Amino acid sequence: MTEAVLPLWLEIIVALLVLAGAGLALLGSTGLLSLSTFYERMHAPAIIATLGCWLIMHGTVLYFSVADRSLALHALLIAVFVAVTVPIMSIFLMRAALFRARQAGLDVPPCLSQPKAPTEVKSS
C-alpha cells in the first residue's frame, strides 16, 4: 500500500486539531485530579472530554478523507456516541451521588421531583 502524501498546510491543520483535542483532554484530567468535591470533579471531564473528542474527530475525518480521497465518516460515529453518552452518564452519576448524600443526611440541595405540600395563603 502506498503512503499518501498530504500538503504541508493540511498536515499542520490536522496536527493542530489533534493536539488541541489531546490538550483539552489533558486539561479535563487535571481538573478531575485537582478539584475537591465529587460535584466539581464531574463537570471538568464531562465538558472538556467531549470537546476534545470532537477536535480529534475533525482532525481524523480531515486526514483520512484527503488520504483516501473519499469522505471518511467512521470517526464521526465515535464522536456522536461520546456526545450522547457522556451527558447521560454524568446525569446518572450526579443523581446517584445526590441520593447517597441525602441518605447520609449531608447538606445538599432539596429534591425537586417530589411534590411539596401546598402552603396556605393568608387572606387579609
- Establish if 122 belongs to a structural domain: no
Domain housing 77: 8-103
Cα–Cα distance measured from residue 101 to residue 89, given in angstroms and rounded to the nearest whole number: 18
CB 24 within 8 A of CB 57: no
C-alpha 122/C-alpha 124 separation (Å) is: 6
Mean of pLDDT over the chain: 84
Judge whether 118 lies within some domain: no
Does any domain span residue 80? yes
Q: Is residue 123 assigned to a domain?
A: no
Query: pLDDT per residue over 50-106, tens digit each?
Result: 888 899 999 999 999 998 888 888 888 988 898 888 888 888 998 899 889 889 988
CA distances from 62 to 8, 38, 55, 66 (A): 13, 37, 11, 6
The verdict on residue 45 lying in a domain is yes
Task: Indicate whether 94 belongs to any domain.
Answer: yes
Domains: count for the chain: 1
**Residue 96 placed within a domain:** yes
Within a domain: residue 91?
A: yes
pTM higher than 0.85 for the full model? no
Angle at 113 between CA 111 and CA 115, to 5 degrees: 100
pLDDT at 30 over 60: yes
